Amino acid sequence: MRERMKKITVAIMASLSLWAATNAFAENVTLNTIEQSQLNEIVTMLEGNPELIPNLHQGIKAYIDQQQQVDQVLAQNHDYLYNNPKHPQFGSANPKLTIVNFTDYSCPFCKKLDPVLHQAALAYPDVKVVNVLVPLIEMRNPLSDKNSAAFAINVWNQDRDKFYDVNETLIKKPSAHDNRSVTNVAKKFGIEASLQTSEETQKMIEKNYQLFTELGLRGTPAMIIGDHIVPGYVPMEELKKLIDQALQS
C-alpha cells in the first residue's frame, strides 16, 4: 500500500511539474482541454487518497516558492544577463529574442550545443545568444589556478578579434580544460596576457555562478528562451520550436 501511495504521489508531482515547466513565468494561464482533464484526474486521485494531500501541498508550495524566486532573480539581474556587453555573445545587434545560455567549456554537452546555437543565430536574424560562462568542472580542481571561462571572458573583452578562433579551439577539446590546455590556447594565439584573471573578471565569474545557483540550475548547458528555462542539450529541430514559440509570444 505504501509503495502504491508513493507511486501516485510521484505521478501527481510529475504531472504538476511538467505543467509548471511548460507555463513557467506565465500569468493568467488558461488551461487547455488536456490540462483541464489532467487537473480533474489529479483532484479525483486526491479525493480517493486524502492522506497524500499534506505532503503534496508542501511539495507544490516549495515548487511555487522556487518559481517566484526565479522570477525575482531574473527581474533583478535582467540587465546583467541580457544587456551586458562583457558576456561573450553573437547574433542580432537589435534582437527580438535573446537566448541566455549558461555554459561551460569543459562540459561535453555545452560543446555540442555551441554550434547549434550559432546555426540558430544564422537561421533567425532577430535572435541574439548571450553566453554566461560558469566553469563548474574546473572549479572543482584544486590544482587549477586558471580556467577557460575567465580566459574566454578576458579574450572577449581584450582581444575580441581573436575570440571566435579561441572559442572554437576551446570547444574542440573533447575533455575538460585545465591549466595546461588553457595556457596552450593562449600561446597558440599569442594572447598570454589574457591568462591573468583581473578582479573584475573574477567577480563576473562569481556572479555568474551565483545566478546559476539562485535560478535553481543543476548543470550546464541551461538556456533561458523567452519565458522558459531549458536544461540540457537541445537539437536544432527542437530549438527551432522553442525559438518560434518565444518569438510568437
**For residue 235, what is its C-alpha cell?**
537539437
Nearest alpha carbon to residue 158 among 121, 187, 191: 191
Peptide bond preceding 88 in cis form (omega within 30 of 0)? no
The pLDDT tens digits for 21-73 are 445 555 556 778 887 888 888 888 878 888 877 777 776 766 665 667 778 98
> Beta strands 127-133 and 89-91: pairing type?
antiparallel
Q: What percent of the chain has pLDDT over 70?
A: 84
Q: What pTM was computed for the model?
A: 0.78
Amino acid at 31: L
Q: How far apart are CA 16 and CA 39, in angstroms?
A: 9
Mean pLDDT value across residues 97-104? 98
User: Which pLDDT band, with edges at 50, 70 and 90, does 1 fall under?
Assistant: very low
